[in-house]
Amino acid sequence: MATSRVLGYLESRKNLTGGACGVAGLVLTFAGVAGPYWPVVVAGLYGAGALIAPPERPALPDFPSPSQQLEEIRADFGRLGGYLADVELPPAAAARLTALTELLAALLEPGWVAEALAQDPEGVHAVSRTVRQDVPEAVDAFVRTRWWTRLTPGTEPPERHLERQLGLLQEEAGRLASALRDAQARRQESHTRYLEDRQQ
């Protein structure tokens, strides 16, 4: 531990800048400027160089790239599919869930769509939140509430809330897909204008 600290200091900006200033002090000594006080001059210049050196910049955290994040979301989406396969849902809610999961699968499928999604951090976050939080929470809340509803008949059926939640999530995913499509359309239009301008 102590050895690594010493090696780290030897390679630090402070030591390198101080060393360069110390060498300048030696040059002044050989030029006859420092006189008999040359050790003080060299040490002083080294210390001054070490003080004025810019501080060490810590390395940035190694966060996963958007593409790596999508790989992790894909894996979680697969686990979510296994969970949903074991849950019995009413037909209307099951149809909404199928539409939502098909849309998410299309967004996450490796290829140019996923590459376009990776360029949109907010979109990656939205898909991650839907897969990891919103869908599991909606389905789990339905399963728990359905059990209590059997004990207290006459209350509002929990499938209504589930259908509404899944519908809202599908709308959100649809807006994301539309935004990605619009971005590609703008890219195409921009290229058309570029080619047209090139002809003038």
At 56-89, the pLDDT tens digits run: 677 777 777 777 888 999 999 999 999 999 999 9
In 3D space, the residue among 13, 18, 7, 11 whose CA is nearest the CA of residue 56 turns out to be: 13
**Per-residue pLDDT tens over the stretch 101-140:** 999 999 999 888 888 888 888 999 999 999 999 999 999 9
Give me the domain span that covers residue 110. Answer: 66-198
What confidence score (pLDDT) does residue 14 get? 75
Helix axes 121-129 and 91-108, enclosed angle (nearest 10): 150
To the question of pTM greater than 0.75 for the whole model, the response is no
Is residue 150 pLDDT above 80, yes or no? Answer: no
Report how many domains make up the chain: 2
Instruction: Indicate if 6 and 32 belong to the same structural domain.
Output: yes
User: Does a structural domain hold residue 117?
Assistant: yes
Confidence of residue 198 (pLDDT cuts 50, 70, 90): confident
Domain membership flag for residue 60: no
The pLDDT of residue 166 is 95
Amino acid at 153: P
